[in-house]
Amino acid sequence: MKKLIFFIIFIPVLAQSQNWFPIGATWYYNYREQQIFPAIGYTKYTVIKDTVVDSKPSKLIIQETVRYNGDTLPTNFIIVREENSKVYYYYNNTFRLMYDFTLNVGDTLAIDISSSYCDSVSPLIVDSIKNIYINGINLRVQYVKGIYYYSGVWQGLVDTITFPIIEKVGNDVYNNSTNSFFFNPVCFVGEGFILNNLRCYIDSNILYKGGSYYNQNLGYSYPCDTLINDLDVTNLSKNENIELFPNPSSDFVIIKAGSTINFIEVYDSYGKLLSTFQPGCNDFTINIKSYLQGVYFFIVKSNNAFPNYFKIIKT
């Protein structure tokens, strides 16, 4: 039986504050295709640089999509900004509101909601506000609620949808958009074949795996950039015994892997690329004596198709 589904269409966003969009911050969403078998790739959004649009400090984000079979789609760029706890995306030559964390319980989130598929849609109201801790960081979560009504063959169906919006991360609910990053709820009737869930959000301080990022066999443990094809999960980080030690360290980091290490990238806590290596061996040592004290991220790629991420503390 068909059901009424409140899909989310996400639209480009640009940030003015480092709080929401630090350089290097990355989101992964499902990229699900309507096949008779599970066919799920991913769409990746990465904050790549500061910019100015309409005289407003903003961020440029690159959108990259990999299909379930490994094919890549053309890249796209979007613009977002944050100002006084409000988040905007740039669309049709203007900034439009997407999130507003100045709101209190009972306030209305003043964004456009399409009712082209419904008879009516209520405004989005802040139903509750909570706090969660991710990697020890306290983040606010708004729960905004909308009610929609559809008559005709749906016999007066009324339903309520609640969207959790996490500070820094954004919305964590399914949507029907190939441009999954944007939050612009749309009332939509359908079977719900194409649900593009948030998988992960990663920045220099936190890793958040979306509440809908779940596989019956693997749970939440598989990498953010997994490809799923005909019930088989491919290109996983297969626990190749990649080790980085010592951690913390003041001078050297030793990297050992169960197969040849193809490349290593080292980033600082702001997402700036510091060094790149192509070892071509299973055992490699990196001198970090010149690094300042703090947190660094190592991306290590062996013969496995996808990279592995490590956080190293320099003392």
d(CA 44, CA 224): 9
Whether residues 153 and 249 share a domain: the answer is no
Number of domains within the chain: 2
Whether 52 and 82 map to the same domain: the answer is: yes
Domain stops at, among 169, 204, 234: 234
Are both 180 and 286 inside the same structural domain? no
- Residue 188 forms beta bridges with which residues? 5
pLDDT digits (tens, 9 = 90+) for 230-255: 545 554 444 457 888 998 999 999 99
Q: Are residues 253 and 225 located together in one domain of the fold?
A: no
Q: What is the pLDDT of residue 15?
A: 34
Among candidate residues 213, 234, 255, the one where a domain is terminated:
234
Across the chain, what does the average pLDDT equal? Answer: 78
My answer on whether 222 and 269 are in the same domain is no
Phi/psi of residue 119, nearest 5 degrees: -75, -35
Q: Model confidence at 179, in pLDDT bands (50, 70, 90)?
A: low
Domain final position from 179, 199, 234: 234
Whether 222 and 247 share a structural domain: no
Q: In which band, very low, low, confident or very high, does the pLDDT at 146 lie, cut at 50, 70 and 90?
A: confident
Q: How far apart are CA 145 and CA 162, in angstroms?
A: 4
Q: Are residues 134 and 215 in the same domain?
A: yes
Asked if 255 and 108 sit in the same domain, the reply is no
Among 40-49, 56-65, 171-180, 204-213, the range scoring the smallest mean pLDDT is 171-180
Supply the range of the domain harboring residue 309: 243-314
More confident residue, 288 or 9: 288
User: According to the model, what pLDDT value does residue 36 have?
Assistant: 56
Same domain, 287 and 205: no
What span, in angstroms and rounded, lies between the C-alpha atoms of 24 and 45?
A: 10
Give the model confidence (pLDDT) of 53-70 as tens digits. 999 999 999 999 999 888
